[in-house]
Amino acid sequence: MPEMPIPLESPRAADAANEAIRRFMAARIGRPLWPAERLEYTRLLAVWAEAQRGRLPETA
């Protein structure tokens, strides 16, 4: 799995996850995701959601 460009402890974790999701999906425009790609998308989405909920240091 690709690593997040910014550590999860960073206040920019949600922004980094969002950008990673955008890049990930842009590279796959026009076709369905393969099973391994769906897992990676789900992982990135979970990181983004956790940051949005404030469980990561995003709400400072």
For the stretch 3-57, pLDDT in tens is: 555 565 566 788 888 999 999 999 999 999 999 999 999 999 998 888 887 654 4
Q: What is the pLDDT of residue 31?
A: 95
CA proximity to 49, closest of 20, 17, 23, 22: 17
Residue linked to tokens 């950008």: 19
Contact status, residue 40 vs residue 34, Cβ threshold 8 Å? no
Find all residues with CB under 8 Å of 36, minimum gap 6, and list them. Answer: none
Res 1 pLDDT > 60: no
Give the Å distances, CA to CA, from 40 to 1, 3, 14, 15, 59.
7, 10, 16, 17, 25
